[in-house]
Amino acid sequence: MDIKALVSQMTLEEKAGLCSGADFWHTKAVERLGVPASMVSDGPHGLRKQDDKVDHLGVNDSIRAVCFPAACATAASFDRAMVTRMGEAIGDACQHERLSVVLGPAVNIKRSPLCGRNFEYFSEDPYLAGEMAASFIHGVQSRNVGTSIKHFAANSQEHRRMSSSAEIDERTLREIYLPAFETAVKREQPWTVMCSYNRLNGVFASEHPWLLTELLRKEWGFEGYVMSDWGAVADRVAGLKAGLDLEMPSSGGYNDRKIVEAVQNGTLDEAVVDRAAERILNIVFRYTGHAKPDTPWDKEAQHALAADIAAECMVLLKNEGGILPLRKEDEIAFIGEFAEKPRFQGGGSSHINCFKTTSALEAAQGLHIRYARGYDAAKDMASDEMIAEAVEAARAAKVAVVFAGLPDVYESESYDRSHMRMPDCQNRLIEAVAAANPNTVVVLHNGSPVEMPWIDSVKGVLEAYLGGQAVGTATVRVLFGDMNPCGRLPESFPKKLSDNPSYLFYGGEGNVAEYREGIFVGYRYYDRKETELLFPFGFGLSYTDFCFFDLHLSAAEISDREALTATVKVKNTGSRPGKTVVQLYVGDKESSVFRPVRELKGFEKVELQPGEEKEVSFTLDKRAFAYWNTQLHDWHVETGEFAIEVGYSSRDIAETAVVKVNSTVRVPRHYDINSIFMDILDDPRGREIIAPLLKVMQEGFSQGQSEQSDAANEAITDAMNLAMLRYMPLRTLLSFAGEKADPAALEAILKQLNED
Ligand code: BGC
């Protein structure tokens, strides 16, 4: 199909019209030229396809579909292949339902536990988020259906999401808030990108030329179309110029007319409209060219897949005395409404109308379970009778399992949480049950961290996150040992909200949200600050034991143009088959810029039989060692030693090796009379050039010194002399070096220093 030729046959009005939706979910058709409409739909963890009444907040009904685990859960799997399988299933459903694009994945960084939409996001770590996003996109797009990676960019709070400006410095953007998008775009070419509602450093994402064009297209090579989040368009013409191709949903023709007027009055080049129309049509025809509405959508099979996936995502956080797995012959109490009606998805645009759900209570049929409701999640209360009934059930049981977490209203799209606590009634229930039966286990359903005031009173905690419609099956499998838990936390669990690095400024003042903690997000902060945590990033237990050993590097020294291979052995030293996640972190041992202690740069999920051993290898390239240099406006590796750490979590490192990386890039330096000696001495070339000057300066110093009393001389050693001198600007030569100071020599040396 010659898209350019097609666009050339369109009127200006038709082209402008193509740049906004026909309605809530469709692009426009141009019937006279055979351009079909195409439908997009939420996303991300299943389909929210609305046939009838439409909205973007999940209020009205959508077709019956399959709700897979939300991103908060799938990230905990640390399993790329599995996330790809989930994407394939969703891609099949899209084909069946004639959807050209599914609106996801959502990859914003979990900066604070408070973000209402954290459940839809993968992680506090950009590398993990990027790997998961790319794997998901790979799966969906293998079915010739598009994805829309969102929300581009820096939409890490719901508070004032449509007006607030995320104020983020260049390095933090590059290292924390952009890489997940970058990885996905460069590796998988999502068919579309959805810009976010918020402003970024003062400019709406929907009209941000640097974000939508310079970075996304010119630097990363994005080829698809950019669509707006629903209602994110402020100035349509500015948006079009900046690179926003499709406005969603329809603006009733209002903004289309603005585009036409702008072309007619000469403020907008028609070529810009052509470009957007071409990009949109490329994708429309890419879909129609491969549409396969006869693709079967086997919902029962996908429900089974959703259960398998949910089981891979569960994170066992505590298992004192091996309380889990439970024995099937024992009397067990299931307490808490979530055992009967699990919370498995979040509120808002991702809310799926499930064709069926399986609760833990249903999944445990045939076992010896006694159920007590414990609390009313919707009313957020537990009556004395409910607690009494729960306590009685707990007393009568061998083990009491409390199903707890956050009710729907606590976390949702469109608003943030105001604290990190679980409902008081649930905390009370857990304490009461644990007092009645010391063998108490808590299963949690939540999209991001919660405080656990009862942690020392219970023996077990299983983090199920929002595990999708089959979460009950998965939970029972893990509780009773049919599945060995293998999830790892994709985020740190602080003890209390005020430990979180964004605590002091989260949400911002009015419409200005300054991301003042900079790159120190999640474990990057906690590890550097040595904060005591409830559970660290990457943490998760198993019913078996694993050992990581024999870490080897392919070289002791490399240049930043070479790759390094790290290999490590993993052994299942316990008595059950299981999976573990080998995590590789890199830390710059010495740096001239502030850097985290360690950053995740590789992970691999490995399955092992008891006694089995495998070797895992990781390839690390320049990016694994680099930070974003704001002078070069590029990734840069400082020459020096780096720690390569392999661990069970960011706080439990099993093996460390050291590699020296030599930079091949010299950061240009410019010196003037105000440059201080220290900065010049730190540069090997500078050290050589400045040596004569330093000598004169030191002599000047010691001469002054010899005129002093003996006591003063003893007090000031040569080392102190040099230490003081290091902070002095070159110009002080004239003040302190006495007669030997030669302005001409200083000028000559400066000239030499600045010669490349
Ligand atoms: C959300 C998007 C969603 C869109 C369409 C917006 O409110 O932010 O994530 O895809 O609605 O429902």
Task: Give pLDDT tens digits for 258-313.
Answer: 999 999 999 999 999 999 999 999 999 999 999 999 999 999 999 999 999 999 99
Substitution candidate for ligand 1 out of 230, 233, 246, 250 with most atoms within 8 A of CB: 230
Residue 386 shares a structural domain with residue 483 = yes
Residue 234 shares a structural domain with residue 146 = yes
Q: What is the mean pLDDT of residues 627-655?
A: 98
How many residues make up the chain in this entry?
756
Convert the pLDDT of each residue in 503-522 to its tens digit: 999 999 999 999 999 999 99
Which atom, in ligand 1's list, is nearest to the CA of 414? 7
Convert the pLDDT of each residue in 338-380 to its tens digit: 999 999 999 999 999 999 999 999 999 999 999 999 999 999 9
Full domain range(s) for residue 486: 299-535
Q: Is the pLDDT of residue 709 over 70?
A: no
At 47, phi and psi to the nearest 5?
-100, 130
- The verdict on residue 49 lying in a domain is yes
pLDDT for residue 683: 86
In short, whether 56's Cβ falls inside 6 Å of ligand 1 is: yes
> Which residue among 535, 565, 586 closes a domain?
535
Nearest to 117 by CA among 170, 68, 70: 70
Question: What CATH number has the domain bearing residue 117?
Answer: 3.20.20.300
CB neighbour list of residue 236: distance below 8 Å, 6 or more residues apart = 20, 247, 251, 255, 258, 259
Substitution candidate for ligand 1 out of 42, 155, 164, 352 with most atoms within 8 A of CB: 42
Residue 503 shares a structural domain with residue 367 = yes
pLDDT for residue 707: 60
Nearest to 74 by CA among 272, 288, 309: 309
Which atom, in ligand 1's list, is nearest to the CA of 148? 10
> What token pair was written down for 288?
């129609």
Maximum distance among all Cα pairs of the chain, rounded to whole angstroms: 100
In short, whether 45's Cβ falls inside 6 Å of ligand 1 is: no
Q: CA distances (Å), 628 to each of 170, 402, 636, 645, 748, in order?
A: 8, 46, 6, 21, 33
Convert the pLDDT of each residue in 396-428 to its tens digit: 999 999 999 999 999 999 999 999 999 999 999
- The verdict on residue 15 lying in a domain is no
Residue 79 shares a structural domain with residue 218 = yes
State the angle between helix axes of 424-436 and 384-396 in degrees (0 to 180), rounded to the nearest 10.
30
Q: Is the pLDDT of residue 712 over 80?
A: no
Question: What CATH number has the domain bearing residue 561?
Answer: 2.60.40.10
CB neighbour list of residue 738: distance below 8 Å, 6 or more residues apart = 700, 703, 704
- The verdict on residue 686 lying in a domain is yes
Q: Whose CA is nearest to atom 7 of ligand 1?
A: 56
> Which residue among 235, 263, 288 closes a domain?
288
- What band does 741 get if pLDDT is binned at 50, 70 and 90? confident
CA dihedral (650, 655, 656, 659) in degrees, to 10, reads -120
- Bridge partners for 661 per DSSP: 558, 640
Residue 697 shares a structural domain with residue 629 = no
Q: Is the pLDDT of residue 719 over 90?
A: no
In short, whether 158's Cβ falls inside 6 Å of ligand 1 is: no
d(CA 410, CA 416): 8
Q: What is the mean pLDDT of residues 68-92?
A: 98
pLDDT for residue 8: 98
Q: Is the pLDDT of residue 54 over 90?
A: no
- The verdict on residue 173 lying in a domain is no
Q: What is the DSSP letter of 554?
A: S
Substitution candidate for ligand 1 out of 23, 47, 56 with most atoms within 8 A of CB: 56
In short, whether 111's Cβ falls inside 6 Å of ligand 1 is: no
Residue 528 shares a structural domain with residue 607 = no
Q: What is the mean pLDDT of residues 562-587?
A: 98
Of the residues 125, 229, 416, 560, which is catalytic?
A: 229
Q: What is the mean pLDDT of residues 168-177?
A: 98
- The verdict on residue 23 lying in a domain is no
Q: Is the pLDDT of residue 697 over 90?
A: no
Residue 618 shares a structural domain with residue 558 = yes
Q: Whose CA is nearest to atom 3 of ligand 1?
A: 349
Substitution candidate for ligand 1 out of 349, 350, 353, 413 with most atoms within 8 A of CB: 349
- The verdict on residue 19 lying in a domain is no
Q: Is the pLDDT of residue 713 over 80?
A: no
d(CA 698, CA 259): 69
- Bridge partners for 445 per DSSP: 405
pLDDT, the chain, mean: 96
In short, whether 604's Cβ falls inside 6 Å of ligand 1 is: no
In short, whether 230's Cβ falls inside 6 Å of ligand 1 is: yes
The answer to whether residues 205 and 215 touch, using CB atoms and an 8 Å cutoff, is no
Which atom, in ligand 1's list, is nearest to the CA of 104? 10
- Bridge partners for 559 per DSSP: 662
Which atom, in ligand 1's list, is nearest to the CA of 106? 9
Residue 326 shares a structural domain with residue 403 = yes
Residue 560 shares a structural domain with residue 517 = no
In short, whether 150's Cβ falls inside 6 Å of ligand 1 is: yes
pLDDT for residue 711: 61
pLDDT for residue 55: 81
Residue 636 CA, distance from chain mean position: 22
Question: DSSP letter string over 354-416?
Answer: ES----HHHHTTTS-EEEE---BTTTTB--HHHHHHHHHHHHHSSEEEEEEE--GGGSBTTB-
Q: How many domains does the chain have?
A: 4
Question: DSSP letter string over 209-274?
Answer: HIIIIIIIIIIT---SEEEE-TT--SSHHHHHHHT--BBSS--TTHHHHHHHHHHHTTSS-HHHHH
Single-letter residue type at 723:
A
308 C-alpha vs ligand 1 centroid, how far in Å? 27
684-703 as b/e: b if 16+ CB within 10 A: eebeebbeebbebbeebbee
Classify the C-alpha dihedral 534-538-543-545 as positive or negative.
negative
* Percentage of residues in the chain having pLDDT higher than 90: 91
Q: Is the pLDDT of residue 708 over 70?
A: no
- The verdict on residue 163 lying in a domain is no
Convert the pLDDT of each residue in 219-273 to its tens digit: 999 999 999 999 999 999 999 999 999 999 999 999 999 999 999 999 999 999 9
Convert the pLDDT of each residue in 23-40 to its tens digit: 999 999 999 999 999 999
pLDDT for residue 706: 58
Residue 44 CA, distance from chain mean position: 15
Residue 623 shares a structural domain with residue 684 = no
pLDDT for residue 696: 86
In short, whether 124's Cβ falls inside 6 Å of ligand 1 is: no
> Which residue among 288, 320, 351 closes a domain?
288
56 C-alpha vs ligand 1 centroid, how far in Å? 6
337 C-alpha vs ligand 1 centroid, how far in Å? 29
pLDDT for residue 162: 96
161 C-alpha vs ligand 1 centroid, how far in Å? 12
Annotated active-site residue 376? The verdict is: no
3-state secondary structure of 670: coil
Do the strands 493-494 and 399-405 form a parallel or antiparallel pair, or are they unpaired?
Answer: unpaired
- The verdict on residue 359 lying in a domain is yes
The pTM of the full predicted model, rounded to 2 decimals, is: 0.97
Q: CA distances (Å), 285 to each of 100, 146, 233, 549, in order?
A: 9, 11, 25, 52
Q: What is the mean pLDDT of residues 662-691?
A: 92
pLDDT for residue 737: 80
In short, whether 229's Cβ falls inside 6 Å of ligand 1 is: yes
Question: What CATH number has the domain bearing residue 384?
Answer: 3.40.50.1700
Residue 657 shares a structural domain with residue 682 = no
Residue 328 shares a structural domain with residue 249 = no
At 507, phi and psi to the nearest 5?
90, -35
